[in-house]
Amino acid sequence: MKTDILLIHPGDHRGNYQDLSTEHAAVTPPVWTLLIAESCRKLGYTARIHDVNVDGWDHETCRHLISALAPGLVVLMVYGHNPSASTQTMPAAGRIARDLKSINRDIPVAMGGLHPSALPERTMREESVDFVVQGEGPVTVHGLLRYLQGNEELRNVRGLWYRQDGEVRSTEPASVIADLDRELGDYAWDLLPQGGYRAHNMHCFQDFEKSRTPDLSDVRSPYMALNTSLGCPFTCTYCCSNALFGRPGVRYWSLEKVCSWFDTLVARYAVRNIRIDDELFILSPQRVERFCNMLIDRGYDLNLWVYGRVDTIEQRLLKKLKQAGVNWICLGIEAGNDRVRQGVHKNITADIRAVVRTIQDAGISVLGNFMVGLPDDTRETMEETLQLAMDLNCEYANIYSVMAYPGSALYGSAAGRDGWLPQTWDGYSQLGYETRPLPTRHLSAEDVLRFRDEAFIRYTGDPRYLRMMEEKFGGRVRRHIENMLSVRLRRKILETGKRGPRA
């Protein structure tokens, strides 16, 4: 049966997470792929999704999909579970595109997502694709389908990069979607492999003692992610998320629409674990409170994870958030030194320690995001960041080494400088073997990465932290963390002994 559009979510779970991929890392649903697939179906097109992270990929899989679906268009959606995970997906996306063309060169192949949108011309020149979809995607994908079916001229498809007479060309950019409810109103959840997704380990720590399976799969699945808004109003120089939208800002789906998704996930798919992927969910107090009231009225037993800034947390909302099912709030704390934070336009005006304690006192766990290797970082300021993290003793901490992701201001300043950027897209994988962070003005990439890996072990292996986790969540969580600590990541630049430049 001929399918109008096959959307492929590429990935290399093993390559990106090494030995953490089998148990500790999440397998997250492809949010944007789901939105675009459903938007195509609403217009009468037939659509299918193949998620490589769940259903795998090899040459035979490729051959079977082409034979069974006869797709009129294949779109590779290069997204990760956060903005920083798009570029690391490019090697897998490139392999898939080459496989598709090796089997049938006539199949139109497009690539969309955050990384291709940030580097559209380079993607066209380097990858085996016919088109790059720049921007959010739906408007361009719909126009491309019309063109391929003879109902649109190519030059009228907005947001498209293509080849003509051997030259890479582009059309006018597509406008961002103004009415999200109307144009991106639903998710194609029925096209996903059911049971193939699992929540992040920390997202379900409070449920580990309830698990009846050795691998904890019964409390980490089913799992879903969704958005209630798009974009971010801030301009942190390390962030690439707004490259998709062209400018800072926030647009919202109506809360009636959002709550209808929760109704479907609970009633039809028995989903309890849900991550709200908004860059900044806790931003508008009135909207957050109304949303919480709508979920509280429904009486669902949810396990939610949301994102906020330290200076957008209002104490009066925390009780409502907890009642609605929010068990985790992720805060972008980033650095322990004010000058280092301000150097990347991350200005925090609130008392970080007080905010974290207030959240925890409300019964909500905190995931603290920290970064080492920001442009002004020294060994001493990175140690300040680690000490702040250990003093806060959040229920979990991500410690990232800074990468100059395509689409970020840091990438623009680093591009073209010898040794500043990874030589391959694999080098942008935070936990991968090939990873290569950005050097600082004082430290090499090797210095930054070595500190990052040691810092994570010092944080999660700290006796005070492990004791708190066991007291709060139980022995299974402590053993899980200790098992995670036993997994050692291999790092190419730390094995070779060749030191790169400082910035």
User: Parallel, antiparallel, or unpaired: how do β-strands 74-78 and 5-9 relate?
Assistant: parallel
User: Which DSSP letter does residue 26 get?
Assistant: -
Q: What is the pLDDT of residue 498?
A: 59
Q: What is the largest CA-CA distance in the chain?
A: 67
Closest by alpha carbon to 141, among 71, 39, 21?
39
What DSSP string runs through 271-286?
A: --EEEE--TTSB--HH
Q: What is the pLDDT of residue 101?
A: 97
Residue 22 tokens, joined = 């089998």
- What residue ranges of the chain are covered by domains with CATH 3.40.50.2300? 5-170
| Beta bridge pairs of residue 168 | 163
- What residue ranges of the chain are covered by domains with CATH 3.80.30.20? 198-496
Q: What is the pLDDT of residue 21?
A: 76
Task: Identify the H or E element spanning 399.
Answer: strand 396-401
Separation between Cα atoms, residue 438 and residue 424, nearest integer Å: 13
Buried residues in 127-165 as b, exposed as e (16+ CB within 10 A): bbbbbbbbbbbbbbbbbbbbbbeeeeeeeebbbbbbeee
Q: Do the beta carbons of residue 406 and residue 243 sit within 8 Å?
A: yes
Closest by alpha carbon to 366, among 279, 306, 291, 325?
306
User: Which DSSP letter does residue 247 get?
Assistant: S
Separation between Cα atoms, residue 364 and residue 255, nearest integer Å: 23
Sign of CA dihedral 419, 424, 426, 429: positive
Per-residue pLDDT of the chain (503 residues; tens, 9 = 90+): 799 999 999 988 787 888 777 878 889 999 999 999 999 999 999 999 999 999 999 999 999 999 999 999 999 999 876 667 799 999 999 999 999 999 999 999 999 999 999 999 999 999 999 999 999 999 999 999 999 999 999 999 999 999 999 899 999 999 999 999 999 999 999 999 888 999 999 999 999 999 999 889 999 999 999 999 999 999 999 999 888 888 899 999 999 999 999 999 999 999 999 999 999 999 999 999 999 999 999 999 999 999 999 999 999 999 999 999 999 999 999 999 999 999 999 999 899 999 999 999 999 999 999 999 999 999 999 999 999 999 999 999 999 999 999 999 999 999 888 889 999 999 999 999 999 999 999 999 999 999 999 999 999 999 999 999 999 999 999 999 999 999 999 999 999 765 655 55
User: Parallel, antiparallel, or unpaired: how do β-strands 131-133 and 109-113 relate?
Assistant: parallel
Residue 359 tokens, joined = 């959240």
pTM of the model: 0.95
The dotted CATH code for 198-496 is 3.80.30.20
Residue 295 tokens, joined = 């979920």
Separation between Cα atoms, residue 353 and residue 368, nearest integer Å: 11
Q: How far is CA 339 from the centre of its chain?
A: 27
Residue 69 tokens, joined = 């679906």
Task: Provide the CATH topology of domain 5-170.
Answer: Rossmann fold (3.40.50)
Separation between Cα atoms, residue 227 and residue 244, nearest integer Å: 15
pLDDT tens digits for 106-143? 999 999 999 999 999 999 999 999 999 999 999 999 99
